[in-house]
Amino acid sequence: MNTNVKLIPMVGMVLLVAAPLVLTGCTTLQTTAVGTALGAGVGAIAGHQSGRAGEGVAIGAGAGALTGALVGSMMENHALKAERRAIERSNRVAYSGGSGNWIDGHYEYVVKKEWVDTTTTERVWVKEYQDGDRRIEGHYEVRKVPSGYYREYEEKIWIPGHYE
């Protein structure tokens, strides 16, 4: 029975350390793992000094994992932005070959046309007539009268940066 009492805090500590690792995903896993290890170490030292090493490890590991995830995310975003800038720079040089003018992104107004359907229906009297052997009496038919027009309008669109 004595082993079960010691096992419960250990399972709780493992869950507390593992939860931030699972929630942060693969992209920042290495940074999170390093942060967890450093946080656990600092927490163990601080907890040992206060006489509660187990709690210090758990709290330090959780704080380290969250800090590691935050730092990893910031590093990843910084790397992605730098990569985008490098690709854009290389595209400018490759496309222009030193000639051509770079036009920054801007809005333009474009005239577009759209069909406005104004089709109506009307009742038309059809006189009596013969259809082969059958005699069709006079009657009203509902017929569609197609009509409509093109409506012109302006639309504001974004033109990304490009060479001209």
Token pair of 21 as six digits = 């690792």
Quick one: pLDDT band at residue 24, thresholds 50, 70, 90?
low
Q: Is residue 9 domain-shared with residue 69, that is, in the same domain?
A: yes
Considering the domain architecture, whether residues 73 and 123 belong to the same structural domain is answered as no
- Do residue 89 and residue 114 come from a single domain? no
* Same domain? 92 vs 13: yes
CB 17 within 8 A of CB 40: yes
Claim to verify: residue 10 and residue 84 sit in the same structural domain: yes
Q: Whole-prediction pTM value? A: 0.35
The pLDDT tens digits of the residues spanning 78-131 come to 888 988 888 887 766 655 555 578 888 999 999 999 999 999 999 999 999 999
Domain count, the chain: 2
- Residues of the domain holding 24: 2-96
Tell me: the pLDDT tens digits for 49-68?
777 767 777 777 777 777 77
Phi-psi region of 79 (alpha: psi -120 to 50; beta: other; left: phi over 0): alpha
Q: Are residues 109 and 64 in the same domain?
A: no
Distances (CA, A) of 76 to 23, 27, 94: 17, 8, 27
The residue out of 50, 77, 96 marking a domain boundary is 96
Same domain, 66 and 22: yes
Residues 17 and 90 in one domain: yes
Do residue 122 and residue 71 come from a single domain? Answer: no
